[in-house]
Amino acid sequence: MPTAEELAVRLSDASVRKIWDPYHLFEWPDELLPEDHWYMSPELISIYGTDVWEGLDETQRKRLSFYELVNLFSFVLLGERLLIEGMINRTYRKATRGAISDYLHHFVDEENKHMIMFSTFCNRYAEGGVYPEKKIAAPREMPKGGDEVGFFCKALIVEMVGDVYNVKMMRDARIHPLVAQINKVHHIDEARHIAFGGEYVREVFDRVSKEWTPDDLRTFQNWLAQFLVSSWGDFYNPSVYRDAGLEDGYGIRKMALAHSTCRTFREDVSADLVHFFLDVGLLDEAPQL
């Protein structure tokens, strides 16, 4: 398996070859009406398969698919904002000197373009624009180096979960073609980010966790499991349900978080990510999602 440094050289070359421009790639319609199209594949909608979903007619489902997509784009975009901040702070350090810093330039460039693409969609077509962030990370005691490992784990959560949605939607002929295109453009860049991030976090974890006691490791694993669970909480946004015209947004969130169909969906979408975390030792058991 290539090292993160070897990967960084290859991925930088690919980034240069595939460079794109968010201002010229897309044709943005003047207006998009929530009821006029599917915007998210129905099977990806947070309450798909529940009684609330079954009680909606097609127009209501399409309207919900629009706000669910705006929520997904908001979740990814806010994750990317944190990623850019963290990546830029990590350039030119001893550990990232050379090829890795070179690749981080592309990473930051591409995430910035993703933010332009997602925020253009949300701000142009949704009256409320980007949904604001809700979660504030709880204060925690991390073992030495845990913040560094944790940063790259957070990146992988946003990127690997987001990419499951990308891959499904870029091939879905039912949804609006602009949305399929955005998902495809995002997937092409994210495939490189995930390849790099996975190898890099493995190397950082192997290095820093050598110094950890069993308690340190448990502290880290507990934090990561909780972070993954709370990340999924953002997918059940009461404002989305309200904007889609459904009553009792908090009630729907609570119902969906407890619903076995929705839990199975979260487990399926997270399967590759959790498998990776278990394989590296970042988790020691699959969390209850």
Which residues contact Fe ion by CB under 5 A? 80, 114, 159, 190, 193
CA distance 269 to 46: 12
Burial of 279 (0-12, 13-18, 19+ CB in 10 A): exposed
Nearer to Fe ion, 114 or 253 (CB): 114
Return the amino acid letter for 109: D
Residue in the structure block whose two tokens are 């925020």: 119
Nearer to Fe ion, 22 or 49 (CB): 22
In the complex, least distance from residue 15 CB atom to Fe ion, rounded to whole angstroms: 11
Nearer to Fe ion, 114 or 154 (CB): 114
φ and ψ of 133, to 5 deg: -75, 150
The answer to whether 190 touches 268, Cβ cutoff 8 Å, is no
In the complex, least distance from residue 163 CB atom to Fe ion, rounded to whole angstroms: 9
CA distance 271 to 163: 12
**What are residue 38's DSSP bridge partners?**
175
Nearer to Fe ion, 68 or 159 (CB): 159
Burial of 19 (0-12, 13-18, 19+ CB in 10 A): exposed
Nearer to Fe ion, 204 or 262 (CB): 204
Nearer to Fe ion, 80 or 199 (CB): 80
Residue 277, token pair as written in the block = 């975390």
In the complex, least distance from residue 45 CB atom to Fe ion, rounded to whole angstroms: 21
In the complex, least distance from residue 203 CB atom to Fe ion, rounded to whole angstroms: 18
Nearer to Fe ion, 61 or 114 (CB): 114
In the complex, least distance from residue 69 CB atom to Fe ion, rounded to whole angstroms: 15
H or E stretch at 116: helix 99-125
In the complex, least distance from residue 188 CB atom to Fe ion, rounded to whole angstroms: 11
The string over 45-67, giving b where at least 16 C-beta atoms fall within 10 Å of a residue's C-beta and e elsewhere, is: bbbbbbebbeebeeeebbbbbbb
In the complex, least distance from residue 17 CB atom to Fe ion, rounded to whole angstroms: 17
Local structure of residue 67 (DSSP, 8 states): H
